[in-house]
């Protein structure tokens, strides 16, 4: 079943709970120089938007359909699993940083061993019926990971609700 | 779907076969390759020579037989197609056998340029190039026999990786190029200067602005002579002077040709039902708008998929590509995007605490070139910004891309300049 990560930016408050849960789940130690797989941030507003609402968001691997990191990896470390998550086996990683250059979102990270590490969508948790750690702790429900079918259905329902609200 | 032949089994040929098989479980796919090996990534040869990977790791998809079984293709290993009669779509094999096909994919790759240098030994003793696993085997064998000194001709992507591999084996090296600086098609002069200083500090002797004119043999050693009147004596010479498309099986008069075989956005050549992918073809380049040969693994991957899908009846277009590279060598990361000859406003950022730099050339709202040294985090988001600039007509980048750039360490004013807002 294809799973889709989604962030509702109207709900995200950049509290950082997702990033902390991710670090906990994946044993990431920023104080030892390791880069977290998920970031939250306040994006500098566009000049035209000054005075408007700040944009806040949570950013991690997008698990792109046609993931450019997979194409770029010269040793074939990255691949898709049965849930369409972009997962990896870094045994053969040569630390060439080709995947970093391919990723628009800065998802690949590297550690002292020179190898690439990234968000794998908590594939093991999901295989065991659990939701990804970042999704589990999100207090506002902004971050979700759901089946493609459920995602599209929810999108349709949200669109209808919006149309109805606008017509009141 | 009928019968398809794929000539060449590198990244492009492999992905053409894979896409075709995915689209049609029953299609007949014949793959011809002149080696007995599985698809191998040429970029990995120097990692093997340096002792950083095992030999088999050069073949990212596993053994040839296993791949043939997985993809359900007939694999003709060690069969170098002698000739293609394009209009008839007939392959002529070494023994004279002829086979006709409905569709053909040319994925013949490229080979190292070896110019006719005066005195170049006919037996190539002491002369090395780096492209195939056989090239890597040969150089590694020589490393094991002992190399007292080396001259690497060509400060190219391959040249610097050969330097790195030999440096790992403590071989004294001279890196020579007729160009004035390293990666001459990618670096901005200031960024090149930093790299030059670091290489010099690591003991690599640089010899730029010096084109090779002649090679002489003196005993077991080679003397290379240069146009500036200087000469170098070494045990071996590695020629890393670039690549040329391998198109010797076709009659160029039958195809529209540039530096490689010209293809459209569907990877179709000018001959109906014949496609070309990867290093042997030249396709749309996004910055110049002209067709260009792009020697990149990911490029061959994408083009192979597109050809496979189009043959299978799923119309798919190539977005285009541009010259880009990330080269991780001797503790450095150099990232080069776009055309380093372009003129425009130059943006420079040197991180005040960390030792990395960012250079960009912008002409109006259009990013023409980006150089980054030692910050791979910038590379992906910056490349995405450049692609957006080329495809979205200067539209401002979205919040996710902005956050990715912020996380890479670029300051807001630089992001604003390259992000189109």
pLDDT at B411 over 70: yes
| Strand, coil or helix: B30 | strand
Supply the pLDDT for residue B387: 85
CB burial string B364-387: b at 16+ within 10 A, e below: eebbbbbbbbbbbbbbbbbbbbbb
Supply the pLDDT for residue B287: 80
Dihedral pair phi/psi, residue B229, rounded to 5°? 90, -5
Mean pLDDT of B233-257: 97
Dihedral pair phi/psi, residue A166, rounded to 5°? -65, -25
Q: What is the pLDDT of residues B147-195, one digit of tens each?
A: 999 999 999 999 999 999 999 999 999 999 999 999 999 999 999 999 9
| Strand, coil or helix: B128 | strand
Among residues 280-299 of chain B, which lie with CB inside 8 Å of chain A?
297-298
CATH code at position A117: 3.30.70.20
Residue B356 CB neighbour total at 10 angstroms: 19
Q: Which of B86-100, B119-133, B301-315, B363-377 has the weakest average pLDDT?
A: B363-377
pLDDT at A47 over 60: no
Supply the pLDDT for residue B163: 98
pLDDT at B377 over 80: yes
Supply the pLDDT for residue A164: 87
Q: Is A33 on the interface with B (CB under 8 A)?
A: no
Q: What is the pLDDT of residues A100-136, one digit of tens each?
A: 999 999 999 999 999 999 999 999 999 999 999 999 9
pLDDT at B118 over 60: yes
Tokens of A94: 């040569």
Contact by Cβ (8 Å): B294, B319: no
pLDDT at A49 over 60: no
Q: Which of B381-390, B393-402, B404-413 has the weakest average pLDDT?
A: B393-402
Q: Single out the residue of B112, B110, B107 nearest to residue B127, CA to CA.
A: B112
- Compute chain A's Rg from CA coordinates: 17
Mean pLDDT of A6-11: 92
Q: Cα(first)–Cα(last) distance of chain A, in Å?
A: 38
Q: Cα(first)–Cα(last) distance of chain B, in Å?
A: 49
Mean pLDDT of B64-92: 96
Contact by Cβ (8 Å): B363, B382: no
pLDDT at B274 over 80: yes
Supply the pLDDT for residue A54: 74
pLDDT band at A29 (very low <50, low <70, confident <90, very high): very high
Q: Single out the residue of A102, A74, A93 nearest to residue B58, CA to CA.
A: A74
| Strand, coil or helix: B274 | strand
Q: Is B421 on the interface with A (CB under 8 A)?
A: yes
Contact by Cβ (8 Å): B136, B130: yes
Is A165 buried (19+), middle (13-18) or exposed (0-12) by CB count in 10 A?
A: exposed
Supply the pLDDT for residue A158: 85
Say if the Cβ atoms of A102 and B383 lie within 8 Å: yes
Nearest to A105 among B44, B396, B400 (CB): B400
Supply the pLDDT for residue A46: 59
Q: CA B380 to CA B333: how far, in whole Å? A: 13
Q: What is the pLDDT of residues B212-236, one digit of tens each?
A: 999 999 999 999 999 999 999 999 9
CB burial string A87-98: b at 16+ within 10 A, e below: bbebebbbbbbb
Tokens of A142: 């902004």
Contact by Cβ (8 Å): B407, A39: yes
Q: Is B358 on the interface with A (CB under 8 A)?
A: no
Ranges of beta strands (E only) in chain A are: 3-7, 39-43, 55-59, 78-80, 86-88, 109-110, 116-117, 143-147
Q: Is A34 on the interface with B (CB under 8 A)?
A: no
Mean pLDDT of B319-325: 85
pLDDT band at B393 (very low <50, low <70, confident <90, very high): low
Q: CA B133 to CA A164: how far, in whole Å? A: 64
Q: CA B284 to CA B290: how far, in whole Å? A: 6
Domain count, chain A: 1
List Cβ neighbours of B125 (8 Å cut-off, separation of 6 or more). Answer: B217
What is the span of the domain harbouring residue A112?
3-166
Is A162 buried (19+), middle (13-18) or exposed (0-12) by CB count in 10 A?
A: exposed
Contact by Cβ (8 Å): B209, B181: no
Supply the pLDDT for residue B286: 85
Tokens of B395: 């539209």
Q: Is A118 on the interface with B (CB under 8 A)?
A: no
User: What are the structural domains of chain B?
Assistant: 3-110+245-311 (3.50.50.60), 127-241 (3.50.50.60), 333-418 (3.30.390)
Mean pLDDT of A1-14: 92
| Strand, coil or helix: B330 | coil
Share of chain B above pLDDT 70, in %: 99
Which residue, chain included where needed, has tokens 């050549």? B269
Q: What is the pLDDT of residues B60-69, one digit of tens each?
A: 999 999 999 9
Say if the Cβ atoms of B381 and A39 lie within 8 Å: no
Say if the Cβ atoms of A46 and B396 lie within 8 Å: yes
Q: Which chain A residues touch B328 with a CB distance below 8 Å? A: 95-97
Supply the pLDDT for residue A51: 60
Supply the pLDDT for residue A15: 94
Q: CA B32 to CA B30: how far, in whole Å? A: 7
pLDDT at B125 over 60: yes
Supply the pLDDT for residue B418: 85
pLDDT at B1 over 70: no
Supply the pLDDT for residue B366: 83
pTM of the model: 0.91
Q: What ipTM was estimated for this complex?
A: 0.89
Mean pLDDT of B133-153: 97
List Cβ neighbours of A89 (8 Å cut-off, separation of 6 or more). Answer: A77, A79
Supply the pLDDT for residue B340: 92
Average pLDDT, chain B: 94
pLDDT at B250 over 80: yes
**Å from A154 to nearest chain B CA?**
22
């Amino acid at each position: 079943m294809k799973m889709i990560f989604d962030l509702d930016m109207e709900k995200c408050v950049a509290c950082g709970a997702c990033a902390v849960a991710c670090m906990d789940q994946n044993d990431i130690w920023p104080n030892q120089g390791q880069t977290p797989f998920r970031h939250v941030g306040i994006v500098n507003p566009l000049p035209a938007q000054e005075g408007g609402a700040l944009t806040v968001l949570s950013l991690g691997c997008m698990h792109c359909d046609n993931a450019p990191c997979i194409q770029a990896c010269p040793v074939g470390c990255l691949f898709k699993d049965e849930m369409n998550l972009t997962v990896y086996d870094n045994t053969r990683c040569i630390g060439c940083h080709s995947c970093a250059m391919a990723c628009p979102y800065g998802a690949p990270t590297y550690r002292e061993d020179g190898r690439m590490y990234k968000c794998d969508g908590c594939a093991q948790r999901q295989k065991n019926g659990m939701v990804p750690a970042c999704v589990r702790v999100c207090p506002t429900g902004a971050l979700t990971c759901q089946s493609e079918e459920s995602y599209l259905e929810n999108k349709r329902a949200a669109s209808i609700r919006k149309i109805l609200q606008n017509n009141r | 779907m009928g019968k398809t032949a794929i000539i060449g089994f590198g990244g492009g040929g492999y992905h053409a076969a894979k896409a075709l098989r995915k689209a049609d479980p029953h299609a007949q796919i014949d793959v011809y390759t002149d080696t007995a090996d599985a698809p191998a990534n040429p970029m990995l040869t120097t990692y093997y020579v340096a002792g950083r990977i095992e030999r088999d790791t050069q073949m990212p998809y596993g053994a040839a037989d296993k791949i043939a079984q997985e993809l359900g293709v007939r694999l003709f290993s060690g069969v170098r197609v002698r000739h293609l009669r394009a209009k008839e779509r007939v392959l002529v094999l070494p023994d004279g056998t002829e086979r006709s096909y409905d569709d053909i994919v040319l994925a013949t790759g490229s080979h190292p340029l070896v110019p006719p240098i005066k005195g170049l030994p006919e037996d190539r003793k002491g002369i090395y190039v780096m492209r195939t696993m056989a090239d890597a085997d040969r150089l590694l064998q020589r490393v094991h026999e002992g190399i007292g000194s080396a001259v690497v001709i060509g400060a190219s992507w391959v040249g610097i990786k050969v330097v790195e591999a030999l440096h790992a084996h403590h071989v004294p090296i001279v890196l020579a190029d007729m160009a004035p600086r390293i990666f001459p098609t990618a670096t901005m002069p200031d960024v090149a200067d930093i790299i030059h200083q670091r290489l010099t500090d690591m003991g690599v002797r640089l010899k730029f602005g010096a084109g090779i004119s002649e090679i002489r043999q003196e005993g077991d050693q080679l003397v290379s002579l240069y146009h500036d009147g200087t000469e170098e004596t070494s045990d071996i010479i590695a020629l890393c002077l670039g690549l040329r498309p391998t198109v010797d099986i076709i009659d160029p008069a039958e195809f529209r040709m540039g530096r490689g075989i010209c293809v459209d956005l569907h990877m179709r050549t000018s001959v109906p039902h014949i496609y070309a992918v990867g290093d042997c073809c030249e396709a749309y380049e996004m910055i110049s708008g002209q067709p260009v040969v792009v020697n990149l693994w990911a490029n061959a991957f994408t083009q192979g998929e597109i050809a496979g899908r189009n043959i299978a009846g799923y119309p798919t277009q190539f977005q285009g590509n541009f010259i880009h590279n990330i080269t991780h060598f001797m503790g450095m990361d150099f990232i080069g995007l776009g055309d380093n000859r372009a003129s425009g406003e130059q943006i420079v950022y040197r991180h005040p605490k960390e030792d990395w730099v960012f250079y960009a050339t912008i002409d109006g709202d259009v990013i023409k070139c980006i150089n980054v040294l030692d910050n791979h985090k910038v590379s992906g988001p910056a490349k995405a910004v450049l692609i957006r600039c080329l495809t979205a007509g200067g539209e401002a980048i979205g919040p996710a891309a902005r956050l990715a750039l912020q996380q890479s360490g670029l300051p807001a004013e630089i992001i604003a300049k390259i992000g189109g807002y």
